[in-house]
Chains A and B, each alone.
Chain A
């Protein structure tokens, strides 16, 4: 039996082979986890964009309704000012016209301009309308949609992507470890031990790195950091 084929040497080669298998398996798990985190980030982004669309669609509809009501309420107030002026004149024809307009025109306009006309909350000190307040009240009627936070989802996706980037770094460490372990398998006895321990050290560093990344991002996502 040659020195190279001694039981110790054979056992050491077996150890290298087992370590290579272990590192390969861990690398595969790390690659899966990296991909899963990236996929989660994409899902969150999609949700953020859907939420943003929902919110903006609601805001558009609420602004449209607000300005529609404000426009009718403004027309009502303008018409009312004209009618009051006619009523204040000493012309009987104008006074009669004012009475008719008051009876037939204004009641038709009022429902279109409400709640700006009848609800005092929307009247400003300048005798105009508080359009922004009406919009706020309409928005508050749909808390499910206005409560959505697309920007928070975008931030969460950013964190997932950041986590993915750090996990990839860990995967690179794993692959580099594979490089050195492979080298240990093929090199002579002189360098076998050094390359093996260097490769194994890189593997341990990679595992610590991956676990560290997972823990840190778990704490960040839970608001612990």
Chain B
């Protein structure tokens, strides 16, 4: 004969205020492990983001320095080439002036203009020795009627800069990806803190509500776990 009459059940229910407590403790422990795992993932993401951030800043420093160097080198090269052009033009104009003086039977003027033309030509030739556009076979014109290969010069100059810029961009992109993940993990940890709160309430309340709060905590833990999976797969 069974003793489980409705009255007995009620009495049993009343004398078992610790119902679901062990489940709640188990959930709390599982939540602790989840927090530890996600904290580890957060540290990993944060570490990767910090490394990429440092690399990005380092390459940005190198890049800005390289740009300054390129500017100084470019100034020097172009000023040297300008000296070649100006002096050679001056030599031509002075020779033309000398011819005019000769036509005008001005021998002194002719000699003076020719001397100055020779000086300008000498300056132009000396400048040409310094000019990378005329002395470097990579950029030098093929004939005296051609211009130096400015495109090749610009390509050579920007190659280093572009490589550094590419590295800097890659590091910056990596930083953004891992920083986003690290931030998301912090959000997940906050959600798990809510689960802790719910589990705490569940532990201290009566059995009926304990089940309700325990279920809510389990749901929150499920959401946090799902979100973690999504972050991992990103």
Residues of chain A at the chain B interface (Cβ within 8 Å): 34, 38, 41-42, 45, 48-49, 52-53, 56, 59-60, 63-64, 67, 70-71, 74-75, 77-86, 88-91, 93-94, 126-129, 150, 154, 157-158, 161-162, 164-165, 168-169, 171-172, 175-176, 178-179, 182-183, 186-187
Contact = CB atoms under 8 A, between A and B. Distances in A.
Interface in B21-52: 22, 25-26, 29-30, 32-33, 35-37, 39-40, 43-44, 47, 50-51
Nearest to B132: A128
Given A91-B111, A175-B35, 11 more contacts: A64-B72, A71-B79, A78-B87, A80-B126, A91-B115, A94-B116, A158-B51, A164-B43, A165-B47, A171-B40, A172-B36
Given A60-B65, A82-B122, A186-B25, A175 B50 contact: no
A33 to B, nearest CB: 13
Interface in B103-140: 108, 111-112, 114-116, 118-123, 125-127, 129-130, 135
Contacts of B30: 179
Contacts of B44: 165, 168
Given A53-B61, A126-B129, A78 B83 contact: yes
B219 interface: no
A17 to B, nearest CB: 15
Contact of A78 (B73, B108, B127): B127
A150 B60 CA distance: 14
Q: Enumerate the 3 nearest inter-chain pairs by beta-carbon distance, A residue then B residue, closest first.
A: A81-B126, A94-B115, A85-B122
Tell me which of B36, B76, B80 has the highest count of chain A C-beta atoms within 10 A of its own C-beta: B36
A90 B118 CA distance: 12
B226 interface: no
B51 to A, nearest CB: 6
B192 to A, nearest CB: 13
B135 A126 contact: yes
Given A81-B126, A84-B122, A91-B111, A63 B116 contact: no
A77 B126 contact: yes
21 contacts: A49-B57, A49-B58, A52-B58, A56-B62, A59-B69, A60-B65, A67-B76, A77-B126, A78-B87, A80-B126, A81-B122, A81-B125, A86-B118, A94-B112, A154-B58, A161-B47, A165-B47, A171-B40, A172-B37, A175-B32, A182-B29
B118 A89 contact: yes
B149 interface: no
Contacts of A83: 119
Contacts of A48: 54, 58
B68 interface: yes
A78 B115 CA distance: 16
B173 interface: no
Contact of A91 (B35, B76, B112): B112
B75 interface: yes
